[in-house]
């Protein structure tokens, strides 16, 4: 049986940790174990969203529609710390043009280690398109992991990207 130490992690980053990164976290945490992966997702934000609601209604509605429990994402937006980066196996920022400059300014030594996706925020694309893109990106990541690019600490193999 796997222990917490056996699990590797993917860290999803976005600006507010309210919408995109939280949805990616829940989607990954739902689908990765179903593929037999010893992986867990977390999410953080460069500037956590200050809303009364703990999760974007767009993300919450889509999770409900897809029958993915909300407990698979954090309870509230959380600020990105260097310790989060240091403990992550894979770091993914959701939108390169928005997040690469933030990463370079706050955590320059981690910028090159971060993978960048192209999922714009709600001011650029609608939630249906953004959330569908996240699903596709996360599903592709899971398939890479399933094919052995990073099967898990239990087999002493690190992530290879």
7 part of a folded domain: no
**What confidence tens digit (pLDDT) does each residue in 33-69 have?**
999 999 999 999 999 877 778 899 999 999 999 999 9
Contact residues for 106 (Cβ-Cβ < 8 A; gap 6+): 46, 80
CA distance 105 to 99: 10
144 part of a folded domain: yes
89 part of a folded domain: yes
Domain tally for the chain?
Answer: 1
Question: What's 47's DSSP letter?
Answer: S
Report the chain's mean pLDDT, rounded to a whole number.
88
pLDDT of residue 74: 81
Chain-centre distance of CA 89, in angstroms? 12
Across 97-114, average pLDDT:
95
**What confidence tens digit (pLDDT) does each residue in 71-85 have?**
999 888 999 999 999
pLDDT of residue 53: 81
Contact residues for 117 (Cβ-Cβ < 8 A; gap 6+): 92, 93, 94, 95, 96, 133, 137
139 part of a folded domain: yes
Q: In terms of residue numbers, what domain contains 112?
A: 21-155
Residue 157, pLDDT > 50, answer no
160 part of a folded domain: no
Q: At what angle do helices 57-65 and 20-31 cross, to 10 degrees?
A: 20
**CATH assignment at residue 34:** 3.40.50.2300
Tokens 């249906």 found at: 128
CA angle 135–140–144, rounded 5-degree value: 145
130 part of a folded domain: yes
113 part of a folded domain: yes
**What confidence tens digit (pLDDT) does each residue in 111-154 have?**
999 999 999 998 999 999 999 999 999 999 999 999 876 544 33
CA distance 22 to 160: 24
2 part of a folded domain: no
CA distance 85 to 1: 27
């Amino acid at each position: 049986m796997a222990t917490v130490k056996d699990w590797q992690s993917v860290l999803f980053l976005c600006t507010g940790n309210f919408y995109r990164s939280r949805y990616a976290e829940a989607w990954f945490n739902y689908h990765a174990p179903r593929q037999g992966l010893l992986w867990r997702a977390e999410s953080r934000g460069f500037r956590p969203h200050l809303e009364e609601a703990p999760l974007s209604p767009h993300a919450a509605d889509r999770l409900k529609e897809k029958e993915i429990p909300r407990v698979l994402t954090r309870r509230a937006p959380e600020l990105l710390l260097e310790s989060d980066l240091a403990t992550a196996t894979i770091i993914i920022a959701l939108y390169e043009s928005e997040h690469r400059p933030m990463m370079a300014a706050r955590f320059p030594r981690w910028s090159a280690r971060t993978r960048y996706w192209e999922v714009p925020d709600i001011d650029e694309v609608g939630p249906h398109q953004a959330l569908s893109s996240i699903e596709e990106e996360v599903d592709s990541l899971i398939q890479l992991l399933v094919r052995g690019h990073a099967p898990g600490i239990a087999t002493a193999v690190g992530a290879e990207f």
